[in-house]
Amino acid sequence: MSKHITGGCCCGDVTFKVEDDFKMFFFCHCEQCRKLTGSAHASNLFTAPNNIEWTKGQEKTKRYEHPTRAFARVFCTNCGSGLPFLTQNGKFLIVPAGSLDEEPTKSPDAQIFCDEQTHWHQSGLAANKVAGFPK
């Protein structure tokens, strides 16, 4: 039996629990994922559609589905944090890795849509690394 991992949004209005039983883990660099996350890439874990127990605030979530493409995003209506959601075809529950309270045992399988990766992200990987804000 897998262990459970808790997760939630930044403000704490929405919380959930999932089994640490992920089938795939991708960093997606496509334009849509960059726009949806506001970051260089999405970090999405894929699991079984029923692998979630909403423990608080599910009614405070909102789903956005692109009108002509097959992608979606669920977020907290208070703080905007990305939260787990079912794919449009219902085959997977996608869990944004950053919404988890601890690290999953699954390591990333691949970085996808790398042809759409931004130059600023590529150069940023070589930038100085510091523990907090630079001095």
In-domain check, residue 129: no
Backbone φ and ψ of 97, nearest 5°: -55, -35
In-domain check, residue 13: yes
In this structure, the dihedral spanned by the alpha carbons of residues 72, 73, 74 and 79, taken in order and rounded to 10 degrees, is: -160
In the chain, which ranges are continuous DSSP H helix?
Answer: 31-37, 119-124
In-domain check, residue 68: yes
Q: Is the pLDDT of residue 1 over 60?
A: no
Q: Which of the pair, 32 or 16, is modelled with greater confidence?
A: 16
State the amino acid at position 67 in one-letter form. Answer: P
Please tell me the least confidently modeled range out of 50-64, 66-80, 102-116: 66-80
In-domain check, residue 79: yes
**Mean pLDDT of the region 37-45:** 93
In-domain check, residue 88: yes
Each residue's pLDDT tens digit, 81-96: 999 999 988 999 999 9
Indicate the number of domains in the chain: 1
**Domain boundaries, position 87:** 4-119
In-domain check, residue 130: no
In-domain check, residue 78: yes
What CATH number should be reported for the domain holding residue 103?
2.170.150.70
In-domain check, residue 134: no
What residues contact residue 125 under an 8 Å CB cut-off, 6+ apart?
A: none
